[in-house]
Amino acid sequence: DAGVTQSPTHLIKTRGQQVTLRCSPKSGHDTVSWYQQALGQGPQFIFQYYEEEERQRGNFPDRFSGHQFPNYSSELNVNALLLGDSALYLCASCRGGNTEAFFGQGTRLTVV
């Protein structure tokens, strides 16, 4: 079992551009959550997807959007990138109801 896999590992984008990050959940998991971890900070919840719909959302602007596919994989899209969007983006997956959330190794996004 490969666990939660995220791609790419690292990414450099220019301010104003758009970016798409990808996450494949652990085998058997159907729920995917995304977190932003700025340098020196704890992860902050962006949103969670279940059954291809956004189920919960944290305090992030509409520039942050997502999608979940029928195979449970997920994408995080960020539009109009700002320097402050530079962070480690973590994906976590779990199986609906009372199961541990497993985290991927993250995508390091640098906005220049």
Cβ neighbour number for residue 104 with a 10 Å cutoff: 21
As measured in angstroms, the least distance from the Cβ of 97 to another protein is 6
As measured in angstroms, the least distance from the Cβ of 76 to another protein is 15
Which residues from 62-101 bind another protein, rule CB under 8 A?
Answer: 90, 92, 94-101
Binding mask 23-52 for another protein (x = CB under 8 A): --------x-x-x----xxxxxx--x-x--
Contacts (Cβ under 8 Å, ≥6 apart) of 28: 95
**Phi (first) and psi of residue 28, to 5 degrees:** 90, -5
